[in-house]
């Protein structure tokens, strides 16, 4: 297939020729439409390049991704991946675009910028202790625009692709600082809690670029989010040990540095988030081995915990006490279950046969669905008897969304286990709900305070 020699994909023609020849030699063993697969391979490569990957990176990912739907391509990826990696990456170390050679410097610069940005309000007389509401509402704005800027720079996104994320950040800044709520009232904490959720989608749009409209692009962002959390926790643990030991050795000479560390702790936290994002981008092949382990470990643990709760509730005959803390606890637990489902799907090989773990996952979904229905009924009774408050409305609306999400996931999981639904349908269902959660968080942060303006 002729290729425009000026396009980035042109340098990959020798590797694509090798892949095509391999498939043609094996056609006697596998019935395969080489031309159709090649068209698909080129489409995937082009999409990945548009998303910010270099041509060599795009080829490696595309061959592996094609292996998920074609057994012969999977054989090629398995037999040739190491040689292909060495062949492509060695020249890439020399041919890497000058812009991306400075990626560590850019990431470090943005980390420093995030640390400095959180200190700027102090120049206007705002103190973290005295003005905690301001800092809580604007916490996401100190870091997420910089994170989105990092991905926009790395992906070399066109200006038109930055319009939506920029509008989301500007709208969030207005919602946080030109409030319709009463400062110190019941809706202010809800704004502070839900703005970051809505703005995380803006980061996702910058991360995935043109691929945000694709299931694979959104799933990549889900995978990135989980890996970012892992790296950040590791950095936080290491940083905590470093700070604690540093405070100890300074104490030995009669110098107390704890006030200084407390003053700069927010800056260190925000900077660590940018560094963690850069590490995920740089070390993706390493972290991929962690995801299956985490999902295999926590899926049965969450299932057992939910089943024990349901069994205890049935045995005692006690209803759920829907208080403020309980609302937060139930929502957090169910959101963790949904996050675990997403991360499990991102780590699963689509071609793997249905097994015991998939059935355990169905048990987790059904248990979470039962808990959600129980909590939702209790919340409905509470609101009908005692009236609506901001917290109750937020919890009720979130649990209604979770109920729909989990119910759909349960139906699709049953069909998948029975062999009537492809795994890709489960992925699409979960990733299509990401904008729903983003829209809900936007409503809580912007619309709800207007409804309860007296609070």
Give me the DSSP letters along 282-344.
HSHHHHTTHHHHHHHHHHHHHHHHHHHHHHHHHHHTPPP---HHHHHHHHHHHHHHHHHHHHH
pLDDT in tens, 114-168: 989 988 888 887 777 666 778 888 889 999 999 999 999 988 888 888 899 999 9
35 φψ region: left (φ > 0), alpha (ψ -120 to 50), beta (else): alpha
Q: Cα–Cα distance between 288 and 231 in angstroms, integer?
A: 12
Q: Cα–Cα distance between 347 and 1 in angstroms, integer?
A: 34
Q: Which residue has the higher pLDDT, 366 or 179?
A: 366
pLDDT in tens, 308-339: 888 887 887 766 655 656 667 777 888 888 88
Judge contact between 211 and 58, C-beta under 8 A. Answer: no
Q: Cα–Cα distance between 146 and 382 in angstroms, integer?
A: 42
Q: Which residue has the higher pLDDT, 363 or 347?
A: 363
Q: Cα–Cα distance between 308 and 328 in angstroms, integer?
A: 20
Report, as an integer, the average pLDDT of 158-182.
Answer: 85
DSSP state letters, 138-167: HHHHHHHHHHHHHHHHHHT--GGGGHHHHH
> What average pLDDT is seen over the chain?
78
pLDDT at 199 over 60: yes
Report, as an integer, the average pLDDT of 239-255.
Answer: 75
Handedness of CA 388, 339, 362, 432 (dihedral sign): positive
The token duo for 216 is 């694979």
Q: Cα–Cα distance between 450 and 455 in angstroms, integer?
A: 9
Q: C-alpha distances in angstroms, 303 versus 113, 267, 355?
A: 42, 38, 17
Q: Could you tell me which of 288, 399, 390, 406 has the C-alpha nearest to residue 337?
A: 406
- pLDDT at position 86: 43
Q: How many angstroms from the chain centroid is the CA of residue 167?
A: 21
Listed range (166-175, 220-229, 345-354, 372-381) with the worst mean pLDDT: 345-354
Residue 405: helix, strand or coil by DSSP? helix
In percent, how much of the chain has pLDDT > 70? 78
pLDDT at 276 over 50: yes
Phi then psi for residue 344, to 5 deg, are -65, -45
Phi then psi for residue 129, to 5 deg, are -75, -45
Listed range (53-57, 75-79, 97-101, 411-415) with the worst mean pLDDT: 75-79
Q: Cα–Cα distance between 38 and 24 in angstroms, integer?
A: 11
Task: Count Cβ atoms within 10 A of the Cβ of residue 262 and give its class: 0-12 exposed, 13-18 middle, 19 or more buried.
Answer: exposed
Q: Cα–Cα distance between 237 and 431 in angstroms, integer?
A: 31
- Spans of all domains in the chain: 8-96, 102-175+188-284, 289-421
């Amino acid at each position: 297939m002729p290729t425009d020699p000026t396009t980035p994909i042109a340098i990959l023609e020798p590797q694509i020729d090798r892949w095509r020849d391999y498939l043609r030699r094996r056609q006697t063993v596998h019935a395969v439409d080489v031309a159709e697969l090649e068209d698909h391979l080129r489409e995937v490569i082009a999409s990945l390049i548009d998303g910010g990957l270099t041509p060599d990176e795009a080829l490696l990912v595309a061959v592996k991704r094609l292996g998920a739907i074609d057994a012969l391509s999977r054989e090629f990826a398995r037999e040739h991946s190491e040689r292909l990696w060495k062949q492509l990456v060695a020249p890439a170390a020399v041919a890497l675009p000058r812009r991306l050679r400075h990626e560590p410097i850019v990431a470090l610069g943005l980390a420093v910028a995030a640390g400095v940005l959180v200190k700027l309000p102090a120049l206007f007389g705002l103190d973290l202790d005295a003005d905690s509401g301001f800092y809580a509402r604007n916490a996401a704005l100190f870091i997420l625009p910089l994170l989105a800027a990092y991905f926009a720079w790395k992906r070399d996104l066109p200006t038109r692709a930055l319009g939506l994320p920029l509008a989301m950040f500007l709208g969030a800044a207005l919602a946080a600082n030109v409030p319709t709520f009463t400062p110190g009232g019941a809706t202010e904490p809800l704004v502070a809690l839900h703005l970051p959720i809505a703005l995380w989608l803006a980061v996702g749009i910058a991360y995935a670029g043109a691929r945000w409209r694709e299931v694979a692009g959104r799933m990549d962002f889900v995978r990135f989010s989980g890996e970012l959390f892992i790296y950040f926790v590791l950095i936080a643990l290491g940083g905590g040990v470093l700070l604690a030991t540093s405070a100890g050795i300074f104490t030995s000479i009669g110098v107390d540095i704890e006030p200084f560390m407390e003053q700069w702790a927010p800056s260190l936290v925000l900077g660590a988030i940018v560094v963690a994002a850069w590490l995920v981008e740089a070390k993706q092949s390493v972290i991929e081995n962690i995801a299956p382990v985490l999902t295999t470990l926590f899926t049965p643990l969450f299932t057992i915990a939910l089943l024990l709760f349901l069994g205890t509730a049935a045995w005692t005959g006690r209803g759920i006490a829907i208080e403020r803390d309980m609302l937060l606890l139930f929502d957090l637990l169910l959101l963790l279950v949904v996050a675990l489902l997403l991360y499990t799907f991102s780590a699963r090989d689509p071609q793997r046969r249905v097994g015991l773990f998939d059935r355990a996952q169905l048990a987790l979904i059904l248990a979470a669905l039962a808990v959600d229905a129980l909590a939702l009924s209790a919340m409905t009774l509470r609101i009908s008897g005692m009236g609506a408050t901001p917290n109750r409305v937020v919890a009720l609306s979130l649990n209604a969304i979770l109920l729909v999400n989990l119910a759909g996931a349960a139906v699709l999981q049953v069909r998948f286990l029975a062999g009537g639904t492809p795994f890709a349908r489960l992925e699409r269902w979960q990733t299509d709900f990401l904008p729903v959660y983003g829209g809900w968080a936007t409503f809580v942060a912007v619309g709800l305070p207007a409804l309860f303006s007296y609070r």
